[in-house]
């Protein structure tokens, strides 16, 4: 019996629906494996279709195309290493999330997923059947068990595979990022290794898909839980892993351990990657955004420049009579530091025309928030006109605090195709700006250094829609607001929980009210990078018409 086995791990970026393009990537990985003398190349969960497909996978023509491509790959990759690739499978009339093993021009095995995740961003019970637990498959000298993603988060599937003769666990994943997710994965997989006594390979997808970011970070554990290989986060990578069969069974020969960045860098890289992929996968090459001189638009401009290169970013200042000289100077300073295209488009003339148009209808009424919001909606109209004219996707710039309580104008500053900071609270935006000023990485395409002037970070936030306006006129101070939102949204807590944490009942009730009445705005808002387990869209799904309120303990 051979005592060595080389396995090529392809941590690659698939595009949902691009079956031919994903197959080409699989063939390229297979060619690299062949050149390296590998016995097998492995690709992640549902790689051939991309992930998360949502209801697209249920379309018969789509999953039939994918299955046909699996068989085509088997023929095309006959003369060389085996290939393991994720794709849908049909058994009778039922659709399954499957892992296909191809070798010698044929399909040698088809493992189907048993445990179907049905929480947070996953609806797999809606899409797939739950298959019985299958035994291991054989490639060369190795009996391999492949619990697919969620199957490895439960004890029963890996234990059954070990009991039926598996010598190695190869776990294909489409596991999306949220803060601290890698630690959770590694802790759980160490448990699987200790329970089964088998080495485990955790192979994850990488790349952005709508709001989700698949962060890669694939790793290999030897029996006992020792880390034998760590692949990078947020980056495509191919690794050749050598396994050796000794007196105690198969073991992975230790390889490279990639650096794992801190939480701020992971969040920032996730926002850059998700924006870059969203543009690439929807066919856009350039973006524009309104640059107000404030902190939110400054960090979005920086993320966009890091993702696409400053030459592909247009920033537009749209001043009114309430725009301060400081904001004009700050916006220009950010644009010049980044090296982006910068336009100034005053809105006074357009606003006067709209005011005159509405004057007969608004006669005998007093100016109020309506007139303030006209400014925002006029800016949205002008930015969308530029987006249409130049073929540049408009980015929106509301942070999670504002998105949560509706501190944004629908059809105004909420207009846009994507929002990279949608899941980042305002207090963290401040910290992220300081982090980016102090750090630069090779995957960032914008200049290094202090691209966001300290005065932009330090000045009191303001929408500048009326004289001397401050965000704190309408909302609790951001440390208070964010603290309450973290309890109500991220922790799914109660008014009583807020009070126990030291916040006033008045502030907690006010924030809860704003949270619920703003649901209709979020329903119509642009997608944005998911950074937490409580992102607005698939993680947290609330009714728009909702009259329930938490009374709290009186």
List the alpha helices (DSSP H) in 197-233.
none
Contact in structure between 498 and 521 (CB atoms under 8 Å): no
Secondary structure (3-state) at 180:
coil
User: Among 77, 149, 315, 498, which one carries the catalytic annotation?
Assistant: 149
Question: 414: helix, coil or strand?
Answer: coil
Can you list the positions of beta strands (E) in 146-283? 168-173, 200-204, 206-209, 212-215, 219-221, 227-230, 237-246, 249-252
Catalytic annotation on 20?
A: no
Token code pair at residue 241: 């892993």
Q: How many angstroms separate the Cα of 432 from the Cα of each of 179, 182, 281, 489, 550?
A: 14, 20, 26, 21, 33
Q: Are 137 and 143 in contact (CB under 8 A)?
A: yes
498 an active-site residue? no
Distances (CA, A) of 318 to 165, 327, 345, 348, 496: 67, 11, 5, 9, 43
Q: What is the largest CA-CA distance in the chain?
A: 93
Q: Is 215 left (phi over 0), alpha (psi -120 to 50) or beta?
A: alpha
> What is the DSSP secondary-structure string of 137-157?
EEETTEEEE---GGGGGSSHH
Q: Is 45 designated active site? A: yes
Q: Do 113 and 130 meet the contact criterion of CB atoms below 8 Å apart? A: yes
DSSP 8-state assignment for residue 294: S
Q: Which of 45, 150, 464, 486 is catalytic?
A: 45
* Active-site residue, from 77, 110, 113, 281: 113
The catalytic residues are 45, 113, 149
């Amino acid at each position: 019996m051979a005592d060595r086995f080389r396995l090529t791990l392809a941590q690659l970026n698939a595009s949902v629906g691009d079956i031919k393009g994903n197959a080409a990537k699989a063939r390229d990985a297979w060619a690299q494996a062949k050149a390296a003398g590998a016995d097998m190349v492995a690709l992640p969960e549902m790689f051939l279709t991309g992930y998360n497909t949502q209801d697209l996978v249920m379309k018969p023509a789509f999953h039939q195309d994918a299955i046909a491509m699996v068989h085509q790959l088997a023929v095309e990759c006959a003369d060389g290493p085996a290939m393991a690739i994720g794709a849908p499978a049909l058994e009778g009339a039922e659709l399954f999330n499957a892992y296909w093993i191809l070798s010698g021009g044929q399909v040698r095995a088809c493992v189907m997923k048993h445990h179907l995740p049905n929480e947070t961003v996953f609806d797999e019970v809606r899409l797939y059947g739950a298959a019985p637990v299958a035994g291991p498959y054989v490639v060369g000298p190795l009996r391999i068990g492949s619990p697919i993603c969620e199957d490895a988060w439960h004890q029963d599937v890996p234990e059954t595979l070990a009991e039926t003769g598996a010598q190695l666990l190869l776990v294909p994943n489409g596991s999306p990022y949220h803060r601290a997710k890698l630690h959770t994965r590694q802790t759980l997989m160490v448990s699987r290794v200790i329970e089964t006594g088998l080495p485990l390979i955790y192979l994850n997808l990488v790349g952005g898909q709508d709001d989700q970011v698949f962060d890669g970070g694939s790793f290999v554990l030897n029996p006992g839980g020792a880390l034998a290989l760590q692949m990078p986060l947020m980056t495509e990578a191919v690794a050749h892993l050598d396994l050796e069969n000794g007196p105690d069974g198969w073991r992975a020969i230790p390889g490279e351990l990639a650096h794992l960045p801190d939480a701020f860098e992971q969040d920032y890289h996730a926002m850059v990657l998700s924006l870059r992929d969203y543009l690439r996968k929807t066919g856009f090459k350039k973006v524009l955004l309104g640059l107000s001189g404030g902190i939110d638009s400054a960090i979005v401009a920086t993320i966009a420049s890091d993702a696409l290169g400053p030459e592909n970013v247009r920033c537009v200042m749209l001043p009114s009579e309430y725009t301060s000289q400081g904001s004009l100077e700050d916006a220009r300073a950010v644009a010049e530091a980044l090296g982006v295209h910068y336009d100034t488009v005053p809105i006074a003339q357009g606003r006067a025309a709209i005011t005159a148009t509405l004057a007969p209808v608004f006669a005998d009424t007093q100016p109020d928030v309506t007139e303030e919001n006209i400014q925002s909606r006029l800016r949205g109209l002008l930015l969308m006109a530029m987006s249409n004219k130049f073929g540049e996707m408009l980015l929106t710039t509301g942070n999670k605090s504002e998105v949560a309580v509706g501190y944004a104008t629908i059809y105004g500053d909420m207009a846009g195709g994507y929002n990279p900071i949608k899941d980042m609270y305002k207090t963290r935006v401040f910290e992220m700006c300081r982090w980016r000023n102090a750090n630069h990485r090779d995957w960032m395409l914008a200049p290094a250094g202090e691209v966001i002037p300290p005065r932009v970070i330090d000045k009191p936030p303001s929408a500048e829609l009326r004289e001397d306006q401050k965000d704190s006129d309408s909302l609790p101070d951001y440390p208070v607001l964010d603290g309450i939102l973290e309890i109500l949204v991220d922790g799914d807590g109660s008014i009583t929980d807020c009070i126990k944490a030291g916040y006033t009942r008045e502030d907690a009730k006010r924030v809860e009210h704003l949270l619920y009445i703003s649901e209709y705005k979020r329903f119509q808002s642009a997608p944005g990078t998911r950074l937490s387990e409580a992102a607005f869209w698939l993680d947290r799904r609330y009714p728009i018409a909702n009259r329930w309120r938490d009374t709290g303990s009186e």
